[in-house]
C-alpha cells in the first residue's frame, strides 16, 4: 500500500463510519468493554498500518469494507445461549447480514466468511483476508487483556 493508497484507505474508513448501518455495531459489546464498532475500526486501522508499513499490495476499498464489516453479526454474543460457539458461527451470520445490507465483492465476502481462520477451517483466499485474520487476533488479545490487567490493578 502506497502513501496515497493509505490516505485513500483512511478516507474510505471515515466515509463508512458515517453509515448508520455500520454504526449499529456500537450497540454491542465485543471484548472487555470494547464495542463491536470500536473493535472493527481498530482492526481496519491495524490492517491499513500493516499494509502501508510492509508495502503490501491490496485492494484498498475491499480491505476497508471487509475489515469494517468482518463482525457485522449485530447481537451481543455474551447474551446468546450458544455463547461459547460464537467463534464458529458468527462469520456466517455476519456475512448473511452484510450481504443483505451491502453489495459485496468476492474479496469482501472472503474476508468476512474466513476471518476466524484457523478456528474455522475456511482458508483465506486473498491477502486482504489474511491481513484481517492477523489484525483481528491482535486487536482481540489487546481488548481482552486490557480488561484483565485493568481489573487486576484496580482491585490490588
User: Which stretches of the chain bind Fe ion, using CB under 5 A?
Assistant: 71, 136
Shortest Å, Cβ 35 to Fe ion: 12
- In eight-state DSSP terms, residue 57 is -
Nearest distance, CB of residue 125 and Fe ion, angstroms: 17
Nearest 5°: phi and psi at 17? -75, 0
Rounded distance, CA 57 to CA 42, Å?
A: 20
Cell numbers placing 102: 451491502
Q: Of the two residues 8 and 80, which places its CB atom closer to Fe ion in the complex?
A: 80
Cell of 32: 472487555
What is the nearest approach in angstroms of Fe ion to the Cβ of residue 31? 9
Pick the closer one to Fe ion by CB: 5 or 115. 115
* Nearer Cβ to Fe ion (5/71): 71
Amino acid at each position: 500500500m502506497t502513501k496515497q493508497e493509505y490516505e485513500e484507505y483512511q478516507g474510505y474508513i471515515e466515509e463508512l463510519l458515517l453509515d448508520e448501518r455500520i454504526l449499529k455495531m456500537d450497540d454491542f459489546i465485543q471484548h472487555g468493554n470494547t464495542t463491536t464498532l470500536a473493535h472493527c475500526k481498530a482492526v481496519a486501522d491495524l490492517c491499513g498500518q500493516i499494509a502501508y508499513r510492509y508495502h503490501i499490495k491490496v485492494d484498498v476499498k475491499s480491505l476497508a469494507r471487509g475489515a469494517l464489516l468482518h463482525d457485522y453479526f449485530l447481537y451481543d454474543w455474551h447474551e446468546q445461549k450458544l455463547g461459547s460457539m460464537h467463534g464458529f458461527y458468527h462469520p456466517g451470520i455476519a456475512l448473511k447480514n452484510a450481504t443483505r445490507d451491502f453489495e459485496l465483492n468476492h474479496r469482501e465476502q472472503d474476508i468476512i466468511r474466513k476471518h476466524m481462520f484457523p478456528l474455522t477451517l475456511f482458508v483465506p483466499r486473498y491477502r486482504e483476508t489474511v491481513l484481517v485474520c492477523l489484525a483481528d487476533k491482535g486487536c482481540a488479545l489487546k481488548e481482552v487483556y486490557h480488561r484483565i490487567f485493568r481489573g487486576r490493578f484496580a482491585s490490588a
